[in-house]
Amino acid sequence: MQLTKKTNIAAQLATATCVLLGSAQTHAAPTTSGEWQFDTAILYYGETDRVSLVEGVVSATKDFGDDHIFNGKITYDGLTGASATGAVAQDAVQTFSRPSGKGGYQVAANTTPLDDTFRDSRVQLNANWAQPFSSGIAGGVGVHISKEYDYFSAGLNGNLSFDFNQKNTTLSVGSSFQYDQIDPVGGKPIGLSSMPMRPYSDYDDDDEQSESENSDEFYDSAFTTQYQSREKSADKNTLDVLVGLTQVLNRRTIMQVNYGLSVADGYLNDPYKLLSVVDTTGVTQDIVFEERPDTRTKHNIFWQTKYAMNNGVVDVSYRYMQDDWDIKSHTVESRLRFNVGESGYLQPHFRYYRQGAAEFYRPFLLANEALPEYASADYRLGEMTAYTLGIKYGQKRANGDAWAVRLEYYQQNPQNAGFAEPEALQQQDLYPSIKAMVLQFNYSF
């Protein structure tokens, strides 16, 4: 459930800027022709009092000769924990319906509303083929398919690279298309409509609907009518295009510049996200579902430089992104790899991220104002800063196998994007920080 949250986590754990252009090069890692090379990884991501993720990956690569390379990968991940709904904290206990409408839960006073039934598992399969076409020209194609309880995704990608200037310059172009279908628990809610509610005592064991003799009468009410009338599924399409230039500056330095375009259309809401509608004092009067535009166009520019020292590598990058939701972001990232002994290395990592809020982001709505066309209280669309600090150690064994372990700390700090807070909300933490630890182990053979 709630793949959008999962997608956001995955984005925090990996840089996706060069996925399209990098697929051919990544899968073209040196291998012995005719032999399989395996890369495995297991990752743990844990937020304080929120979401936890465990992910396992097995990747297999084979060179069939003349750099005709196949790569297949299977990924499994499982998530548990509590996910922020978007509603604001209050100085009294609040009651919410589960997404299915067949259960409810209460949130203590002065506590950020979290849905603690956030559980899901996902399986994804990837297959890629890369090969040279002629001297200085290479390319690749790939497919992926992913399935979880309420979400299905399938995609195609392709890329071409052209070497010239004595192979010191490479021009790369890539594109991908992805189809996603979501089957929300309880159906697709109408944007900015009220969450169906009933007294908490009518729920049984904070989970399932009461099977009392009055339950049939209850099911005939407006509460269940809204759930029964909802559409059961929705979909979206995403097209990505990337153009990049890689230049060898000297025997120690290489630089890359990419431009990326992403166009998405269809159902872009998170069906599980809510907004609080409060009066002028800040007391909640209603809870409504979010509503986002059904199209989104993103542009990004990425720059990266790597410099080989006598005893390691310096890797620095910068990424700028803006979209037609008025979100603008800046990402600065650096890795400094030091060789340790004859076969090991140590790599500190730092990443800083800053983002402005979407034009329709609202931490809450006011009951005395007309509903806007679009609104979301999802903190991922709000103003924020975030940073990652990490360290990685890796070693190559005498038999050619290699292993590495990575430990990172991540902190996200949402900020007020200029909204005046009614009196009752001034006492609440509307923008709580999110803190997480990441631990990953890799083994290649």
Residue 131 in contact with residue 138, Cβ under 8 Å?
yes
Q: Judge whether 11 and 353 are in contact, CB under 8 Å.
A: no
Per the model's pLDDT, the better-predicted residue between 9 and 98 turns out to be 98
Q: What digits encode the pLDDT tens for the residues 21-64?
A: 333 334 344 556 679 999 999 999 999 989 999 999 999 999 99
pTM: 0.88
pLDDT band of residue 218 (cuts 50, 70, 90) is: very low
What pLDDT score does 175 carry? 98
**How far apart are the C-alpha atoms of 222 and 196, rounded to whole Å?**
8
Q: Taking all residues of the chain, what is their mean pLDDT, rounded to a whole number?
A: 89
pLDDT band at 221 (very low <50, low <70, confident <90, very high): low
Tell me the domain boundaries of the chain.
3-444
Tokens of 84: 């922020």
Query: By the 8 A CB rule, do 128 and 23 touch?
Result: yes
The tokens for 35 are: 């032999």
Facing residues of 383 across strands? Answer: none
pLDDT at 34: 79
Question: Does the pLDDT value for residue 155 go beyond 70?
Answer: yes
- What mean pLDDT do residues 418-427 have? 96
The pLDDT value given to residue 24: 36
pLDDT higher than threshold 90 for residue 424: yes
**Strands 312-323 and 434-444: what pairing?**
unpaired
Do the beta carbons of residue 321 and residue 328 sit within 8 Å? yes
| pLDDT at residue number 117 | 77
Overall average pLDDT of the 403-426 stretch: 98
> Which CATH entry fits the domain spanning 3-444: 1.10.1740.10, 3.30.930.10, 2.40.160.40, 3.30.300.20?
2.40.160.40
As a whole number of angstroms, the distance between CA 199 and CA 203 comes to 8
The whole-angstrom distance between residue 332's C-alpha and the CA centroid of its chain comes to 18
**Pairing mode of beta strands 274-278, 365-366:** parallel
Of 7-16, 216-225, 253-262, minimum mean pLDDT range: 7-16
Strand partners, 284: 278
CA distances, 216 to each of 43, 97, 102, 224, 273 (Å):
46, 18, 13, 10, 29
Q: Would you state the pLDDT for residue 30? A: 52
- Whole-number percent of the chain with pLDDT over 70: 87
Question: Residue 223: pLDDT above 50?
Answer: yes
Would you place residue 11 in the very low, low, confident or very high pLDDT band (cuts 50, 70, 90)? very low
pLDDT of 263 strictly over 90: yes
Residue 290 to residue 65: CA distance in whole angstroms: 53
Give the pLDDT score at 102: 80
Encode pLDDT of 246-259 as tens digits.
999 999 999 999 99
pLDDT given for residue 205 in this prediction? 52
Q: What is the 3-state secondary structure (H, E, C) of the chain?
A: CCHHHHHHHHHHHCCCCCHHHHHHHHHCCCCCCCCEEEEEEEEEEEECCCCEEEEEEEEEEEECCCCCEEEEEEEEEEEECCEECCCCCCCCCEEEECCCCCCEEEECCCCCCEECCCCEEEEEEEEEEEEEEECCEEEEEEEEEEEECCEEEEEEEEEEEEEECCCCEEEEEEEEEEEEEECCCCCECCCCCECCCCCHHHEECCCEECCCCCHHHHHCCHHHHHHHCCECCEEEEEEEEEEEEEEECCCCEEEEEEEEEEEEEECCCCCCCEEEEECCCCCEEEEEECECCCEEEEEEEEEEEEEEECCEEEEEEEEEEEECCCCEEEEEEEEEEEEECCCEEEEEEEEEEEECCCCCECCCEECCCCCCCCEECCHHHCCEEEEEEEEEEEEECCCCCEEEEEEEEEEEEECCCCCCCCHHHHCCCCCCCEEEEEEEEEEEC
What is the percent of the chain where pLDDT is above 90?
A: 80
- pLDDT tens readout for residues 98-154: 888 888 899 999 999 998 877 889 999 999 999 999 989 999 999 999 999 999 999
Q: How far apart are CA 285 and CA 88, in angstroms?
A: 12
